Structure 1
């Protein structure tokens, strides 16, 4: 952590600004102002004219305000850093990764597990009954609901880690075969949730570990749909990193598993939607279209086609997914109609930002700086509000395409703001 810039903070207060109002005046979030004042971050040069004007100082005077005092021998107490707490949760989860992997690799002791009477009489063995697994399942479902509703996904991580502790402890103890399978299902479910949190935080390696463990647990539970969804999430990392050829075989395996699963669920259709994006990235329009048609079959399924947790595909994403595919294929005429349609539906912040970024790409293709600025500004605002690494990565993917428009001042500003957003996440 850097040295505090108390003079900068004092000047801001003298001018009558709170961190929130100062951020609004200079075009950043209040959290960024706090990081400037703590010395964690330094304002980019292009922002300094607006900052100096708001503080009624010259650029040289602003430079002095931003120069932290020399360290003294007496070190003040430093408040807890949220990043440190996040790292602690991550270290705990890495420990759980190895422990869970080892436990799932151990064969169940059928002889011991069959002696239910002996085990039931010993409460200290830690056996779980059907009521216990039902309670675990309720908590898992609650955590998924919190995750879906939370603008900042990382807030769910400590709760999910605590629940994984409980499930892992239960797996290490003797259980009946039926209970062990159910615990494996719940573990596969929860590791997919934790993987989603890491994925949103742009920690793809950690997310991949989670999805791999979720797939192993799903296999141990003999739960085809659960297993297939874990593999699909793993493949989606390659899709997002534009390593489309690596995603194809994983998705084929997931599709094969889904064919053994529950035909009333939308597992097969969701896998097809991800396959469509892979084929689009590889430039295969025909295969992409076939996969999109397969994904659209979700609209003909009856009843509860998803569970709101590890499977949430209900067809509401079809327009945006079709639009993303057409953007990757360079079919901007088809993409704009699909994306405009998607923008009119009820989207989460992360999904809306993805649609906005794709529409900005169409503006780049048209060499229309105003269209690019409109959509990128809105996506940047959402990225700052949510802290989503998914949105930040999507914007970084757009950034190299801005090069032909960099003679335009507003495109220069957007390019700098995307760079600053990436810097904030790395800090």
Structure 2
């Protein structure tokens, strides 16, 4: 496959762009680690100027040659089946990552040696904080969020080593804060990959580490991220107590940070899910007050600066069935500078409005754009949101365009 690509003058990046896929995905195909998804095969065959049958043969040849000359055919099928089920190298990284999380979580709960080590605090803390803040920046820019896993794993490995050495009580608190920061980033990566149980474990560890660190804002952020899983799974009644606890913590935190405003923005989603428009608007008004702060978020684990309020307001109004209000807010959000993941979310909400208004052209225009973003970024977050849109497509299944669109979402979320 790689030889055919090169013969046609494609780089991995240019072929990925032609297919609206990710370059790393093309690399995995060529290494025989995964196969192209069914909806991408016709596009890939066309780009490589071969038939579908020739593509199958080419992929099989690639897999056989990559398996080594001594591998049996049954062994190859077993190996490839394991890769598609477990994610091969991604899964190995994830398991090592979980082991490190468990190790650091245990070390956090151990008593410190009580030594006075002022020198290690001055240099080590600043370096670790800068590294973790940088990881959040990398995460924000990454198209495929899971690609950040190895970097977070390496940072956790360093943290585990430091936690295992004698250090002062003050240094222990700083290390706990670093751990809480890393756990929250790990949870975000897991959440984007639709691994909600793993994400919840990350956020629970982050909450415990934040408590050990004595950092109310960091603790409130961990609870808020944990609560967002419930919002996404539409368990609004069960989620409300988590946000109430986060609200209390945020009130006791730094008044110059945006923590309490972020908590209010997520509470607005819960009120919308429970059908309470007035409570939703009050929470959104509280969130809006973030614009009065001079420096609402320092970066890293706290990123709420009010820039995404239009899309959050629009999402709330979609839940409440106030499509007129939702469309205005979402259109304003789409006109602003958004990350690819946020853009996919807004496009899906706008497609939802099209479906509820029985406007098929609008549904397909916004929905197709969202699917293409999900394909490019491998974002489980966008894919899961699109899956929720499928429930509104039944009245239009007679339209082949909608039927094809639904199948495309199905293929996407089956990854």
Aligned ranges 1:182-331 → 2 under 5 Å: 182-301=174-293, 303-331=294-322
Three-state SS of the structure 2 residue aligned to 1:306 is coil
Three-state SS of the structure 1 residue aligned to 2:337 is coil
Q: TM-score, normalised by structure 2?
A: 0.85
The reply to whether residue 105 of structure 1 matches residue 97 of structure 2 is: no
CA contact (8 A) 1:185 1:221 kept: yes
2:365 aligned to which of 374, 393, 400: 374
Deviation of the 1:383 alpha carbon:
0.9
Alpha-carbon separation, structure 1, partners of 2:31 and 2:156: 37
Is there any run of 5+ residues in structure 2 with no aligned partner, and where? none
Partner of 1:74: 70
Alpha-carbon separation, structure 1, partners of 2:18 and 2:131: 43
CA contact (8 A) 2:108 2:209 kept: yes
Alpha-carbon separation, structure 2, partners of 1:270 and 1:49: 42
The reply to whether residue 90 of structure 1 matches residue 87 of structure 2 is: no
RMSD (CA atoms): 3.4
Deviation of the 1:83 alpha carbon:
3.4
Alpha-carbon separation, structure 1, partners of 2:367 and 2:146: 24
- Which stretch shows the higher mean deviation, 335-344 or 198-207? 198-207
User: Deviation string for 1:305-336 (max 9, x for gaps)?
Assistant: 10111111111111100000000111111100
Q: 1:280 to 1:24 in 2, by over 3 A?
A: same
Partner of 2:134: 142
CA contact (8 A) 2:143 2:340 kept: yes
The reply to whether residue 354 of structure 1 matches residue 345 of structure 2 is: yes
Alpha-carbon separation, structure 2, partners of 1:37 and 1:237: 34
Alpha-carbon separation, structure 2, partners of 1:35 and 1:306: 40
Three-state SS of the structure 1 residue aligned to 2:392 is helix
CA contact (8 A) 2:206 2:219 kept: yes
Three-state SS of the structure 2 residue aligned to 1:299 is helix
Alpha-carbon separation, structure 2, partners of 1:331 and 1:356: 17
Partner of 2:395: 404
Query: Which of structures 1 and 2 has the bigger CA Rg?
Result: 1
Partner of 1:153: 145
Alpha-carbon separation, structure 1, partners of 2:230 and 2:111: 32
CA contact (8 A) 2:272 2:280 kept: yes
CA contact (8 A) 1:152 1:387 kept: yes
Q: Relative contact order (C-alpha < 8 Å, sep 6+): which is higher? A: 2
Alpha-carbon separation, structure 2, partners of 1:195 and 1:148: 14
Three-state SS of the structure 2 residue aligned to 1:129 is helix
Alpha-carbon separation, structure 2, partners of 1:40 and 1:219: 42
How many residue pairs end up in the alignment? Answer: 401
User: Deviation string for 1:154-196 (max 9, x for gaps)?
Assistant: 2221111111111222223221111111111111111111111
Deviation of the 1:26 alpha carbon:
7.6
CA contact (8 A) 1:211 1:231 kept: yes
Is there any run of 5+ residues in structure 1 with no aligned partner, and where? 1-5, 121-126
Alpha-carbon separation, structure 2, partners of 1:136 and 1:28: 34
Alpha-carbon separation, structure 1, partners of 2:121 and 2:179: 16
